[in-house]
Amino acid sequence: MCDSKPDFTTIKFSPDCEIGEISRVALASILRIHQIDPAVVSELAVAMQQEINALLSKDSWIEIEFHPSGNKISVEIRTNGDSRSINAAW
């Protein structure tokens, strides 16, 4: 049995989901858990949406993985063989 907690959260969206809204809700939840500066979260949400829009096609899924650590967070956005990373610190 392992007592360690995972250090990341992954969310996978189907093409039919309203991805922008769900990813912002997930980011807001992470903000509360890890006490991230709201200004950083706002900038990160905008950057995430830009990357999602660049990667998204009508038939592709999107997977977003959040890695909070200390005073920084990295986000990896993956879809059908492509990925982009975004980092923020506060």
Domain with residue 64: its CATH number is: 3.30.565.10
Q: Is residue 1 part of a domain?
A: no
Give the sign of the dihedral formed by CA 23, CA 76, CA 4, CA 42: negative
Is 22 within a domain?
yes
Count of structural domains, the chain: 1
| Report for 7-21, 25-39, 56-70: range of highest mean pLDDT | 56-70
Burial-class residue 36 by CB neighbours within 10 Å (0-12, 13-18, 19+): buried
**Has residue 13 been placed in a domain?**
yes
Q: Is residue 3 part of a domain?
A: no
- Residue 46: domain span: 9-89
Q: What is the pLDDT of residues 65-86, one digit of tens each?
A: 888 888 888 899 988 878 899 9
